[in-house]
Chains A and B, each alone.
Chain A
């Protein structure tokens, strides 16, 4: 906790750094030098305490690893769910590109009228592309894909209406504007029915919104769990160094000085847990990617699992370190003030 002999001692005798030397030569006021020195020793102490509290954790690798693993598992669950949802969203975006509205025209409409209507629809801003399918073409298609081709021979006339297939002009996922287009198409005269083929995309999105909320809830709950784990571990660390705390308080240590090593301990616990969680998530992704590739190949798809991006990884680490700091802070606030020299 309290630093070793400072090895920079020799260096400090002769200011190595150019600007430092210049400052001294210019003859900065005594007060400025003193303040500068105080700041330097303050940050120097932070650095040393950070190093020593890490070394202290590494000196008891087994128990530290246990704590790190508990934190990592607690973080892996929500982070894993987040990655899963990211992938699902990406996958559904590809499907959404294929979202089309089928407009079934009334039977009485002939081909010329139908094509004119299709041209009219194509002129709309919200529409990317339009394809007219005459009743005859529709019948051919039906024969080919449905497998009922033979049965159709018994029909006297073609029961199928003409269809205009409308591709909306949307950027990625935009169910609302697609829905608006659908309503507008439905209101057209001569239109029997307009149908959004990928209504299930909407349902999928609702499910994913639910999933996101679940990930958030899980994250909150497990975040509290991490706080408690770090808090309890730091509390034990404080207990085991009670005698030492009393001594340093008697030789004039401030509360901040006594607190510092424990706060760094919390940061290291959190950060270590975050790193392990990152590793766990990536191992799971690697493990699943094989089966996903096979599944996608079976559907003739083109999709690969993506992992945590750079920003998400960075946020995970920062967040976990902050969580550790907060947990330590709570424990320190509760337990350190009780240890006073008696």
Chain B
């Protein structure tokens, strides 16, 4: 699903965020990405999302070499990936329903399809009763679940999360992680960047540890 081959990312100021990084995440796998801040977790996710391009090496996602995707085609590529942010990045001037519907409206889905899929996604994260509320009326954990619903509403084959539990207490964090596990159980490839090592250790999934842009360790703890 995700294949990095000798990938190096050097920014314009000379800083090398990733150095000859190689790894492979198979379809249907669930993996954690850990490391100190500055280890290159964010850069790795940015390369997959095509927010950045690698300086050297090859990134292949769902069998597509990302170097071959032209700028104009990036939006269509991104529609196949669900992305969950640390600060959930909801739009506060519209309801929970409209936030979750956003990816479907962008991809031009039919109205009746939108209604059905938004409710299915909200149902999965347990927020069906709150579809009409504004995000500000929700708790932090609920806001993050709306963010997850928005990420999965397009039924992506790949789900990425960048510090999804960064601002949540341990109990809520565990709850969010269980949600990701549920999506993984129905076949979605999941990759979660986090520095919450104690939480990761309890989950028994593959862990990729980065240090200064290189892979330090890879495997189940």
Which of A3, A243, A341 is B49 in contact with, Cβ under 8 Å? Answer: A341
Q: Tell me if B106 and A248 are in contact (CB < 8 A).
A: yes
Interface class of chain A by DSSP:
helix
Chain A residues closer than 8 Å to B141, beta-carbon distance: none
**Within 8 Å of chain B (Cβ to Cβ): is A146?**
no
Contact with B along A237-273 (1 / 0, CB 8 A): 0000001101111111111010000000000000000
The reply to whether B110 and A251 form a contact with Cβ atoms under 8 Å apart is: no
Chain B residues contacting A44 (CB-CB under 8 Å) are 111
Is A143 in the interface zone, CB < 8 Å from B? no
Indicate whether A157 reaches chain B with its CB closer than 8 angstroms.
no
Query: What mask results when residues 8 to 49 of chain B are scored 1 for a CB within 8 Å of chain A, else 0?
Result: 000000000000000000000000000000000000000001
Bound CA span A3–B154, Å: 17
Cα distance A9–B119 in the bound complex, in angstroms: 14
Q: B97: shortest Cβ distance to chain A, in Å?
A: 6
Q: Which of B91, B95, B103, B111 has a CB less than 8 Å from the CB of A244?
A: B91
Residues in B whose Cβ lies below 8 Å from that of A4: 94-95, 98
Q: Contact check, A2 vs B105: say whether CB atoms are below 8 A apart.
A: yes
Quick check: B112 and A5 within 8 Å, CB to CB?
A: no
A3: which of B72, B89, B105 is its contact (CB, 8 Å)?
B105
* Bound CA–CA A251/B104 (angstroms): 9
Q: Check A253/B112 contact, CB under 8 A, given A2-B98, A341-B51, A342-B51.
A: no
Taking CB atoms, residues of chain B closer than 8 Å to A184 are none
Q: Which of B74-82, B171-179, B200-208 contacts A (4 or more CB under 8 A)?
A: B74-82
**In the bound complex, do residue B111 and residue A6 qualify as a contact, i.e. CB atoms below 8 Å apart?**
yes
In contact, B111 and A252 (Cβ under 8 angstroms): no
- Identify which of A6, A246, A252 gathers the most chain B CB atoms within 10 Å of its CB: A252
Q: State how many angstroms separate the Cβ of B191 from the closest Cβ of chain A.
A: 16
B112 touches A252 (CB 8 A): no
Q: Tell me the bound Cα distance from A12 to B114 in angstroms.
A: 12
Q: Is the CB of B109 within 8 A of A41?
A: yes
Q: When each residue 11-47 of chain A gets 1 if its CB lies under 8 Å from chain B and 0 otherwise, what string results?
A: 0110000000000000000000000011011101100
Is B111 a contact partner of A9 (Cβ separation < 8 A)?
Answer: yes
CA distance A9 to B95 in the complex (A): 18
Task: Tell me the bound Cα distance from A249 to B106 in angstroms.
Answer: 9
B111 proximity list for chain A (CB < 8 A): 6, 8-9, 12, 41, 44
Cross-interface CB contact of B150 among A13, A246, A251, cutoff 8 Å: A251
Q: Given the known A-B contacts A5-B98, A340-B51, are A251 and B108 also in contact in the complex, defined by CB atoms under 8 Å?
A: no
Set B98, B102, B114: member contacting A251, Cβ < 8 A: B102
B210 within 8 A of A: no
List chain A residues, Cβ under 8 A from B114.
5-6, 9
Residues A9 and B112 in contact, CB atoms below 8 Å apart: yes
B83 contacts chain A at the CB level, 8 A cutoff = yes
Min CB–CB distance B13 → chain A (angstroms):
14
Whether A5 contacts B83 in the complex (CB less than 8 A), given A41-B111, A45-B108, A247-B91, comes out as: no
Q: Assess the A252–B105 pair: CB atoms within 8 A.
A: no
Question: Measured between C-beta atoms, what is the minimum distance from A35 to chain B in Å?
Answer: 11
Give Cα A251–Cα B51 distance, bound, in whole angstroms: 12
Q: Which of A12, A252, A340 contacts B79 (CB 8 A)?
A: A252
Q: Does B187 contact A (CB under 8 A)?
A: no
B49, A254: Cβ atoms closer than 8 Å: no
CB-CB < 8 A to A257: which residues of B? 75, 106
Q: Which of B75, B91, B98, B102 lies at the interface centre, i.e. has the most chain A CB atoms within 10 A of its CB?
A: B75
Tell me the complex Cα distance, A40–B109, Å: 10
Q: A342 to B76, alpha carbons, bound, how many Å?
A: 18
Please name the residue on chain A nearest to B108 by beta carbon. A41
In Å, the complex CA distance between A250 and B110 comes to 21
Q: Evaluate whether A250 and B78 lie within 8 angstroms (CB atoms) in the complex, with A42-B108, A341-B49 already known.
A: yes
CA distance A252 to B76 in the complex (A): 6
Q: How far apart are B35's CB and chain A's nearest CB, in angstroms?
A: 20
Q: Are B103 and A252 in contact (CB under 8 A)?
A: yes
21 A–B pairs (Cβ distance < 8 Å), ordered by A = A2-B98, A2-B106, A3-B105, A4-B94, A5-B101, A5-B115, A6-B115, A8-B111, A37-B110, A244-B91, A250-B83, A250-B89, A251-B78, A251-B79, A252-B75, A252-B107, A252-B154, A255-B75, A257-B75, A257-B106, A342-B51
Q: Which residues of A contact B (CB under 8 A)?
A: 2-6, 8-9, 12-13, 37-38, 40-42, 44-45, 243-244, 246-255, 257, 340-342
Q: Give me the interface of B with A, judged by CB distance under 8 Å.
A: 49, 51, 72, 75-79, 83, 89, 91, 94-95, 97-98, 101-103, 105-112, 114-115, 150, 154
Name 7 extra pairs, CB < 8 A, besides A12-B112, A252-B103.
Answer: A3-B98, A9-B114, A41-B111, A251-B79, A252-B77, A252-B106, A253-B75
